[in-house]
């Protein structure tokens, strides 16, 4: 029955061709704001000064001629109507990462829409129910398309903005560049796909290699960090500063200084920080990325201007942002499902054993080696995805609370993302998390277990996958249906 409905919806989509206007009413936000924004995003090849002089510009893929694409900024509850045009040499779609859109607007190719063909277009139209920091990116060939620069910030403002001196967005990008600043063409290297994913050699803030970020003594920033890298994980340390996390993945959290004052962001994850600038005028302080052992580097330097301090007294700690509109999961009565992640090389980066046994059947974890050929290297509950269109792994009843007990049996990190919902991360390795934080992407360490809880309130077929994009393309993806 359910399958029939799905098939007919799909053939309807396919029959009506490229341009489809979605009917998108989110029940939680339908009445909140009558404001509506019209936009056009054109995905096309372009040039960008990623490294800067004297290096030449880099041939990249852009939205509206830029990488990252233009920032989309809306008021909570308002509506967006956006025409996406594809002038790339391959199919694309746009996914609104973390925004709880209606299923037909979600940008999952073959599942929620036909892919946008070269020369074609698609109209996305939806309301934004929740405030916060989100982002957009293609969901077709995404390892290559995000890797070539297709990504952008998507900011939904609270009705009452937080009092800060500046609201700053850092879209973190990671590129693999040749010495002449061109993008290395080595996408889909099987060894990398079965290990950490394609990690680059050039980390950018808002599409540029940056050495300095100018700040003023005494000012307070709201810094919205977006990890838009295909595979790189960040752990940022603001030396001499105490960033306070006020939101993860757009969702408010009790304001707190993260463990070790380190802000950890797996691919696709976001953090909203309050950063006060206590340094002296004219001083500098590095922002270090210390995630990969032995590979720390300076992301950028906070460079204090010579202006006199903006205020004499430090500000009071920030208060918690108002809650978003997700229903509260009823954890006591939740139904629990096990989700097991397997595959990849047996050894993690920096672990002994190195590259031994790579790609051979015996080198794959979870006994999957023999079953997974043809580029399928990772699996969720024993199934390696081959493209988006697949049988749902789980069928959830609309309105009920579910716990997914995710067990990472691999030797690698996986940032696991569920479309269409935000969830609470309730335990890690069986221990209750301190903040029971809302997220849409949870970073799970090698051999770690994490439980997430949510109300399955958004009907449709939702992608559930690893956001290391090479892992996603090499099988670590499934569908969760809310019916
Ligand atoms: Cu940010 Cu399924 O994606
Ligand atoms: Cu992964």
Taking residues 405-429, report their average pLDDT. 98
Cα-to-chain-centroid distance, residue 34: 28
| Residues 232-271 pLDDT 10s | 999 999 999 999 999 999 999 999 999 999 999 999 999 9
Taking residues 297-319, report their average pLDDT. 96
Ligand 2 center from residue 468 Cα (angstroms): 5
Ligand 1 center from residue 142 Cα (angstroms): 9
Q: Please check whether residue 341 is in contact with residue 409, taking contact to mean a CB–CB distance below 8 angstroms.
A: yes
Can you tell me which atom of ligand 1 is nearest the CA of 463?
2
Return the structure tokens found at 133.
Answer: 């920091």
What are the beta bridge partners of residue 205? 172, 208
| Residues 115-159 pLDDT 10s | 999 999 999 999 999 999 999 999 999 999 999 999 999 999 999
Q: How confident is the model at residue 346 (pLDDT cuts 50, 70, 90)?
A: confident
Q: Please check whether residue 379 is in contact with residue 343, taking contact to mean a CB–CB distance below 8 angstroms.
A: yes
Can you tell me which atom of ligand 1 is nearest the CA of 137?
1
Ligand nearest to the CA of 145: 1
Can you tell me which atom of ligand 1 is nearest the CA of 465?
2
Contacts of 84 (CB under 8 A, 6+ apart): 40, 41, 42, 43, 92, 93, 94, 116, 121, 122, 123, 124
Ligand 1 center from residue 342 Cα (angstroms): 20
Contacts of 303 (CB under 8 A, 6+ apart): 212, 213, 214, 215, 284
Ligand nearest to the CA of 267: 1
| Residues 423-439 pLDDT 10s | 999 999 999 999 999 99
Q: Ligand 1 atom 1: the closest Cα is on which residue? A: 97
Can you tell me which atom of ligand 1 is nearest the CA of 472?
2
Ligand 1 center from residue 319 Cα (angstroms): 30
| Residues 78-118 pLDDT 10s | 999 999 999 999 999 999 999 999 999 999 999 999 999 99
Pocket of ligand 1 (CB under 6 A): 95, 97, 137, 139, 268, 417, 419, 463, 465, 467
Ligand nearest to the CA of 377: 2
Check residue 373 and give its pLDDT. Answer: 54
Can you tell me which atom of ligand 1 is nearest the CA of 97?
1
Ligand 2 center from residue 408 Cα (angstroms): 9
**Widest Cα–Cα separation across the chain:** 69
Ligand 1 center from residue 194 Cα (angstroms): 19
Ligand nearest to the CA of 415: 2
| pLDDT > 80? residue 364 | no
Check residue 483 and give its pLDDT. Answer: 97
Can you tell me which atom of ligand 1 is nearest the CA of 268?
1
Ligand nearest to the CA of 468: 2
Can you tell me which atom of ligand 1 is nearest the CA of 108?
2
| Residues 200-237 pLDDT 10s | 999 999 999 999 999 999 999 999 999 999 999 999 99
Ligand 1 center from residue 354 Cα (angstroms): 30
Q: What CA–CA distance (Å, rounded) separates 436 from 432?
A: 8
Check residue 21 and give its pLDDT. Answer: 36
- pLDDT higher at 349 or 463: 463
Of the chain, the percentage scoring pLDDT greater than 70 comes to 87
Ligand 2 center from residue 96 Cα (angstroms): 20
Q: Where are the beta strands (DSSP E) in 138-280?
A: 152-157, 166-175, 202-205, 212-215, 220-227, 234-238, 244-248, 251-256, 262-265, 270-276
Ligand nearest to the CA of 249: 1
Can you tell me which atom of ligand 1 is nearest the CA of 98?
1
| pLDDT > 50? residue 353 | no
| Residues 167-185 pLDDT 10s | 999 999 999 999 999 999 9
Ligand 1 center from residue 139 Cα (angstroms): 7
Contacts of 286 (CB under 8 A, 6+ apart): 239, 298, 300, 301, 302
Q: Ligand 1 atom 3: the closest Cα is on which residue? A: 97
Ligand 2 center from residue 478 Cα (angstroms): 13
Ligand 1 center from residue 135 Cα (angstroms): 9
Q: How confident is the model at residue 368 (pLDDT cuts 50, 70, 90)?
A: very low
| Residues 50-75 pLDDT 10s | 999 999 999 999 999 999 999 999 99
Q: What CA–CA distance (Å, rounded) separates 132 from 96?
A: 12
Ligand 1 center from residue 283 Cα (angstroms): 39
Q: Ion ligand 2 — residues with CB under 5 Å?
A: 414, 466, 468, 471
Check residue 205 and give its pLDDT. Answer: 98
Ligand nearest to the CA of 466: 2
């Amino acid at each position: 029955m359910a399958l029939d409905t799905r098939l007919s919806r799909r053939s309807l989509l396919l029959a009506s061709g490229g341009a489809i206007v979605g009917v998108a009413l989110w029940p939680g936000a339908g009445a909140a704001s009558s404001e509506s924004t019209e936009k056009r995003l054109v995905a096309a090849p372009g040039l960008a000064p990623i490294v800067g002089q004297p290096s030449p510009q880099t041939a990249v893929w852009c939205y509206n001629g830029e990488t990252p694409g233009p920032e989309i900024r809306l008021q909570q509850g308002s509506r967006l109507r956006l025409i996406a045009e594809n002038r790339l040499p391959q199919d694309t779609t746009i996914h609104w990462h973390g925004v709880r859109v209606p299923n037909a607007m979600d940008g999952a190719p073959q599942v929620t829409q036909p892919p946008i063909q070269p020369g074609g277009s698609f109209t996305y139209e939806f309301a934004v129910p929740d405030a916060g920091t989100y982002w957009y990116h293609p969901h077709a060939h995404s390892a290559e398309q995000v890797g070539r620069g297709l990504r952008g910030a998507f900011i939904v403002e609270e009705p009452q903005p937080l009092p800060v001196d500046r609201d700053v967005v850092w879209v973190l990008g990671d590129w693999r560049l040749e010495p002449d600043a061109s993008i290395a063409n080595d996408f889909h290297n099987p060894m990398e796909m079965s290990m950490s994913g394609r990690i680059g050699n050039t980390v950018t803030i808002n599409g540029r290699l940056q050495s300095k970020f100018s700040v003023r003594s005494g000012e307070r920033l709201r810094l919205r960090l977006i990890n838009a890298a295909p595979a790189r994980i960040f752990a940022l340390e603001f030396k001499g500063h105490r960033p306070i996390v006020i939101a993860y993945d757009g969702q408010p959290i009790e304001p707190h200084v993260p463990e070790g004052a380190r802000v950890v962001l797996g691919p696709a994850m976001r953090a909203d920080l309050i950063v006060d600038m206590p340094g002296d005028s004219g001083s500098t302080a590095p922002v270090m990325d210390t995630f990969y052992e032995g590979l720390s580097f300076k992301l950028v330097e906070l460079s204090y201007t010579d202006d006199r301090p903006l205020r004499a007294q430090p500000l009071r700690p920030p208060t918690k942002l108002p809650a978003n509109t997700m229903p509260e999961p009823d954890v006591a009565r939740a139904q629990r499902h096990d989700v097991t992640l397997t595959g990849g090389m047996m050894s993690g980066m920096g672990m002994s054993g190195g590259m031994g046994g790579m790609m051979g059947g015996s080198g794959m974890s979870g006994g999957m080696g023999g079953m997974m050929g043809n580029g399928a290297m990772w699996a969720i509950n024993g199934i390696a995805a081959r493209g988006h269109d697949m049988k749902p792994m789980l069928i959830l009843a609309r309105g009920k609370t579910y716990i997914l007990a995710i067990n990472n049996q691999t030797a690698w990190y996986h940032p696991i993302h569920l479309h269409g919902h935000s969830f609470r991360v309730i335990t890690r390795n069986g221990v209750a998390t301190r903040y029971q934080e809302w997220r849409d992407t949870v970073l799970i360490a090698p051999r770690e277990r994490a439980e997430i809880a949510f109300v399955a309130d958004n009907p449709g077929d939702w992608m559930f996958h690893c956001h290391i994009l090479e892992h996603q393309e090499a099988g670590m993806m499934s569908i969760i249906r809310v019916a």
